Amino acid sequence: LFLDEFLAEGAEIPGTPAQAHHLGTVLRRAAGDAVAVFNPRDGEFAAQIVALRKDRCVFALGARLRAPRDEPDLRLMVAALKRDALDWVVEKATELGAGVIQPVFTRRTVVDRVNGERLAAIARGAAEQCERLSVPEIRPALPLHAALDAWDGAPLLVAAERRGAMPVGRAAAGLSLPCGWLVGPEGGFDGAELDDATRRPFVTAVALGPRILRAETAAVAGLAVLQALAGD
């Protein structure tokens, strides 16, 4: 369970109402049961549920199980996809080790609002499920050009279908972290928009093979390649 509090052996720390609901109603846990709690600052601790009601829970912390570690700096910049697709991408990107997820508005995005709180909750749940110690940062959605202007110059591979672009595996083999993966919306990037992105010295257009993938498939496939070849 992710607890954004100072964690230390011997401390008694409250969880959130959502955690109380999840533990009691979904997982059918009770006071006295063992759990593990974590955050990226303090690491992971064994804990016992000492109080559990409908909207309130408290944990008594035992020994530290894992020390904090620096998470690899793998970033995803993804067009603001329709809600279910973006939810799924955030969950899978968390499992694949993304540290930052930057939603972007492109010329062909059909969504004009991204619910960052909802995505952060999905990322937290996925981090708990896959036992990573950190939760990816969900950045506020920005227009693509603004996100590129704010980029710090780390290599950014852009998923570009039908452009005869270099295979992603070849490009990723020469990279190390930090690096990022940029994926377009359901309708793809507009040509001028892609040209504007690839004019930037840190951007390289790459392909995931000759088939047209759904944007969400492209998002997780590319992250998996980067994670395997450039991450840890």
Binding site residues, ligand SAM, CB under 6 A: 159-162, 183-184, 186-189, 207-209, 211-215, 218
In the bound state with ligand SAM, the residue whose beta carbon lies nearer, of 156 and 218, is 218
Tokens representing 180 are: 């990022």
CA distances from 225 to 22, 103, 114, 202, 219 (A): 33, 20, 26, 18, 10
> Which sign, positive or negative, has the C-alpha torsion 38, 44, 49, 51?
negative
Give residue number: closest CB to ligand SAM. Answer: 184
In the bound state with ligand SAM, the residue whose beta carbon lies nearer, of 95 and 161, is 161
CB of 113 to ligand SAM, least distance (A): 20
3-state secondary structure of 75: strand
Give 101's DSSP letter: E
CB of 203 to ligand SAM, least distance (A): 13
In the bound state with ligand SAM, the residue whose beta carbon lies nearer, of 158 and 177, is 158
In the bound state with ligand SAM, the residue whose beta carbon lies nearer, of 130 and 212, is 212
In the bound state with ligand SAM, the residue whose beta carbon lies nearer, of 155 and 188, is 188
CB of 194 to ligand SAM, least distance (A): 8
Give 159's DSSP letter: E
Calculate ∠ Cα 100-160-150, nearest 5°.
Answer: 40
CB of 108 to ligand SAM, least distance (A): 8
Measure the CA–CA gap between 152 and 131, rounded to whole angstroms. Answer: 29
